[in-house]
Chains A and B, each alone.
Chain A
């Protein structure tokens, strides 16, 4: 009996002990579950509500240094790195003005405008007079395509007397919003332009008056019309483009440009260029695809000289607001009108890839591209017994090149720009007269400025230099063109 009682007591005690342990365990389980999630989202153990986080509290020097580093990264054009640095501690520091603004602009500049608005909304909820946050939330709304809210915030900032440069930018945004919100599906733009300039080589010709022809083993005198000639010129031009929105992504476009250049004395080298194009565009927030047909007509010295017909395509992809990739291609037939020149007919095809980068301050853009292509000589006209298949004397051409450039905004309405390019051209046939395969090195460079002195009026001084080094002297030339252009745009 006693033993039975002891066993029973022991069992009851054990059961009670286990129930107590179970209850404790359940409590611990509850705490552990809540704790593990709290740690996931950034809540520190023991923290509830206003309790300060254990690490990187707002008052610590380490935290202030981290914010300083993030600010430097944004200013140095590395906003994605700044965002990566700040995002893990957003939960802890959301609601602190400097933190919210920094993570907001880091998100905006690295292509996350939705996340930017989340942070900047906090900054403005706490302080509606935080103008910098308001300007950047307006930019974020614009990036999101939320034009009504962008307009509301831009207008609110104008009432706070922002600095002149900021005001100029805001007015550009507002003009663009007006244009996009007009509700019109058909958009038209156009321009007229006039230039005056001096060209050191209007005929792209060698400066030598005579050249050595290997076939004759003798020097060969050139007509003055085939020797470099400089002249002053006047030019006028006009053009326009129509685009029609089929839906949110698709557009069709058609455009044309006409330019005429009149030399002061070298009338044989007066030119008229007429180019037309039409095609389709597909736009999303990060991708843009354009495919179109093109055609051109060229007059030289008052006579119809050549025609161009073909197609071109371009795809651009935006990795972030500061970096864009572009792939472009072109196929075009170049045909001469004059029977004598038709031996030079060719088809050109080219494919290239380009990159553009906008600097952190948004005021400079750098461009670069590389391309390769061929020119296939397609004429069957025979001018030499040694070339029974016809075609141009130097045959087909393979070319490849690099181009780079940049522009920088100066003040409110001016931009400086510069570019340079180099192209290698190798031809396929041995030139009968010069007894070698032609090999060219074409270099060009330019610099200039654009100054918008009135709304839609632009003044445009520019200097261009071109030089072609060729192993066949007659194809070598250099050319310097300095011009001043006035342009008026219409929308």
Chain B
């Protein structure tokens, strides 16, 4: 083979390999897309460029999303999960790798620097728990297939007025762990775990509603909220079901003695 042909062949192979590898790596770098934005939400990419986040935007590895007060965003992740970023928060998407299946190479790592998020996990972490975690200044949150919410209260946050500085984690579904150098605790549904500092043992606490009340309050004095569903199918949880009529046996008839006209038991006795 001539030198020219040899170089040509190398270039051809390189061309195909570059296209395949680079297109795949670009695909892997996208963590998710913005499903919903409300208010002022900013994205800072790995090169430090800042732009306002809009619906449909892609979130890449190393991007940091910041919300201002009263702003929120929902990100639909590539593995089918969701990340909801609460008001006055900062979340960094540290690493996200997903080939479309759980093959051990996947990972979804975040750093919650301030404020709160809700995370509904997708495929990542479903089987390999170590492939998903959220790092906070005080601890690391791990999961076991879950819908959970995490808040980081920093000293400069307005939330510091209503909650102690530290990391708070509550679970809606599934289970999470809070780990730091002092140990690990499990947090089950409707429990809230708290880590006050990296060297403080995480502990379970009663739910702090100052942090975890999501819906903004209605306007004071507003009485015109529109029609509501007076009753729904889920209200059966509070209705008396009448002892589940129809789901039981009829009452047993107690047999009473049958007597002859003379007032004594039939003869021979109890024939009927």
Contacts and interface: CB of A to CB of B under 8 A. Distances in A.
Interface string B22-62: 11101100101111111100000000000000111110000
Contacts of B15: 18, 21-22, 25
A50 B55 CA distance: 6
Contacts of A28: 19, 23
Contact of A95 (B7, B55, B84, B118): B55
A38 interface: yes
A353 to B, nearest CB: 9
Contacts of A79: 233
A259 to B, nearest CB: 12
Interface in A400-431: 401, 403-407, 409, 415, 417, 419, 421, 423, 431
B72 to A, nearest CB: 5
B215 A128 contact: yes
Interface in A346-363: 348, 350, 352, 354, 356, 358-363
B74 A204 contact: no
A70 B77 CA distance: 26
Contacts, number: 358
A450 B242 contact: yes
Interface residues of B, number: 100
Contacts of A48: 54, 56-57
B258 to A, nearest CB: 5
A38 B55 CA distance: 12
A37 B30 contact: yes
A354 B76 contact: no
A113 B190 CA distance: 14
A354 B246 contact: yes
B212 interface: yes
Contact of A222 (B33, B226, B260): B260
Given A33-B26, A33-B27, A47 B256 contact: no
A139 interface: yes
B227 to A, nearest CB: 6
Given A49-B55, A109-B233, A362-B233, A146 B190 contact: yes
A250 interface: no
Nearest to A8: B4
A105 B272 CA distance: 60
B207 to A, nearest CB: 5
Nearest to A446: B245
B82 interface: yes
A161 interface: yes
B101 interface: no
B234 A108 contact: yes
A94 interface: yes
Contacts of A43: 33, 56
A37 B269 CA distance: 86
A11 B82 contact: no
A122 B36 contact: yes
Given A114-B173, A122-B74, A131 B218 contact: yes
Nearest to B245: A405
B124 interface: no
Contacts of B38: 95, 122, 125-126
Interface stretch (A58-66, A184-192, A366-374): A366-374
A169 B225 contact: no
Contacts of B120: 114, 118
A33 B253 contact: no
Contact of A330 (B12, B18, B249): B249
Interface string A462-487: 00000000001011000000000000
Contacts of A128: 215-219
A90 B76 CA distance: 10
A408 to B, nearest CB: 11
B255 to A, nearest CB: 5
B247 A41 contact: no
A169 B232 CA distance: 10
Interface of B: 4, 7-8, 11-12, 14-15, 18-20, 22-24, 26-27, 30, 32-39, 54-58, 72, 74, 76, 78, 82, 84, 118, 120, 147, 172-173, 188-190, 207, 209, 212-219, 222-242, 244-250, 252-263, 265-266, 268-272
27 contacts: A22-B14, A32-B23, A42-B76, A48-B54, A48-B56, A91-B33, A94-B74, A109-B234, A122-B36, A125-B38, A130-B226, A136-B229, A157-B228, A163-B227, A204-B256, A222-B261, A300-B256, A328-B247, A340-B265, A341-B255, A362-B232, A362-B233, A362-B234, A367-B244, A383-B268, A401-B249, A403-B250
Given A157-B225, A403-B248, 8 more contacts: A15-B8, A25-B19, A113-B234, A120-B215, A149-B213, A161-B223, A203-B256, A356-B247
